[in-house]
Amino acid sequence: MRVRTLGLAGLSALMLAGTVGTVRAQASGGKAWVHVRVEEANRQSKVSVNLPVSVVEAALQAAPEDILSHGHIHLGKMGKRDLSVSDLRKAWNEMKATGDAEFATVEDEDETVRVARAGNVMLVHVDKPSGKESVRVEIPIEVVDALFSGQGEELNLRAGFAELQKRRGDIVRVKDNDSTVRIWIDEGN
């Protein structure tokens, strides 16, 4: 069994587990399912993980304290740099106020990176010139808002995830030469 493939699927599921909400009153998330697909063509490998949102919520709520502290996560020092959530929050509030815009476009020989807001969605697109490799991340504005609803240096994961479970459709798509990863939420299993 491909440990890497399973690991990738598991990691994707866990990442997404972190982004699924906890507010049970939100009926829209009641029967939602989180899906992860990883396909590797050259190894003829396909991995599918389908989890009811309620199961992910349960995992999130019961997660050990050292992983998740009351639904909040602290960003501390990353290497030699300090990553300040409060600075990110300020920057986000400024960006949000500008409406639809291209926030960043980086073009070099290897790839093009585009960070933009389009309507209610934040887009992160990474493309290789060959056209064979790309990354598409689409996060609703409300999710980012909810993430920054924590105090000080905390990201409010649970609130962010509660918002995310309202979304239906793709969240992440990654494509490279021989593999694809797709993460999405819908009502079916």
Chain residues that interact with other proteins, rule: CB under 8 A: 1-2, 5-6, 9, 31, 33, 43-52, 54-55, 57-59, 61-64, 189
Pick 57 or 154: Cβ nearer other proteins: 57
Kindly state the tokens that stand for 184.
């999405």
* CA 59/CA 183 separation, integer angstroms: 18
Q: How far is the CB of 157 from other proteins (least distance, A)?
A: 15
Nearer to other proteins, 43 or 132 (CB): 43
| Least distance from other proteins to the Cβ atom of residue 125, Å | 29
Q: Which is nearer to other proteins, 27 or 78 (CB)?
A: 27
- Supply the minimum distance, in Å, between the C-beta of residue 50 and other proteins: 6
CB of 17 to other proteins, least distance (A): 10
Minimum CB distance to other proteins smaller for 47 or for 171: 47
